[in-house]
Amino acid sequence: MDYTKIFFIIFFLIILLFLLIFNLKNLIIIRSNFKHRIAWEKCKQLKISIPMDKRKNSFELEKILEIKLKKVLDKINSGSIFLIQNNSDPVSIFMRLGITGRFSHSAIILKPNFFNESGKKPLLWQAAGEKIGTKNSGPDIHSFCAFLSEYMTRYPNCRYAIRNLSQPLNPSQSFSLHDFIISTIKQKKFVFVSNFEMFWCFYTETLFRFLLPLDPYMKISNKNELTFCSKLITETYQHIGLVDNNVNSFATTPNYFSFPNSNHFLINETEIIFTP
């Protein structure tokens, strides 16, 4: 028996395992991008050049984004979707592995004058886990460029896409959206899920429904006050009649709004690529 050979094989396997664990994050990103390459290839690409040294300060970056994105955002219909692939956060990355989708965040874009004529900046209606600015993490309105600039400085290497509504909202949908946003913010009812709550709620509402009766034991008693990005977006679209009321908002992910899903009210994605 040649022990040196066995030793080398075990040594080699340990190194391999080490490399695998160490690079798991990158492997998942590569796997996910490979698996979804067709969807990415179908994206129109919008390249925006922002030198690396201008991406360090979020205030400076915000001003640049405001100028560079103005043309696109001016043309987008209020109610369109903004999608983020979070490549910085292990939880988001593993979540993407679990849900096998491309995106980890979704938000609704509102044109500058959506609320009143004096509005100057495009906005996002969203439940964002990160408390960016002084805003809370429940459903809230953020300036699109302020949020994006914070996001880009905090979490580099993310991918971004926008998806236009196929038709502008009609006046009654627009009013209804307006109303829904204002009343949801005023209510202050919803809180953003913790990672465990997100995991638990998503899987018990999809694959493991038989575990639902365990909710109280998992301290998920305030379930009707929990929210997360895609749940809020689903409920918003349900309110204005774009998503069927039978859809379980707890069981949706940001990918519910990405190509090729929801094609009946959203058109093709445009990926925004920030080049140096």
Q: CB 157 → ligand NAG: shortest distance, Å?
A: 10
Per-residue contact flags (x/-) with ligand NAG for residues 125 to 164, judged by CB under 6 A: ----xx------------------------x--------x
Residue 104 touching ligand NAG (CB under 6 A): yes
Site for ligand NAG in 191-230 (CB under 6 A): none
Site for ligand NAG in 81-100 (CB under 6 A): 86, 88-89, 92
Q: What is the 3-state secondary structure (H, E, C) of the chain?
A: CCHHHHHHHHHHHHHHHHHHHHCHHHHHHHHHHHHCHHHHHHCEEEEEECCHHHHCCHHHHHHHHHHHCHHHHHHCCCCEEEEEECCCCHHHHHHHHHHCCCCCEEEEEECCCCCCCCCCCCEEEEECCCCCCCCCCCEEEEEHHHHHHHHHHHCCCCEEEEEEECCCCCHHHHHHHHHHHHHHHHHCCCEECCHHHHHHHHHHHCCCHHHHHHHHHHCCCCHHHEECHHHHHHHHHHHCCCCCCCCCHHHCCHHHHCCCCCCCCEEEEEEEEEEC
Which residue in 40, 267, 271, 273 binds ligand NAG (CB under 6 A)?
267
Q: CB 210 → ligand NAG: shortest distance, Å?
A: 28
Which residue in 115, 199, 203, 265 binds ligand NAG (CB under 6 A)?
115
Q: CB 254 → ligand NAG: shortest distance, Å?
A: 8
Residues that bind ligand NAG (CB under 6 A): 42, 72, 75-77, 86, 88-89, 92, 104-105, 115-116, 118-119, 129-130, 155, 164, 167-168, 267-268
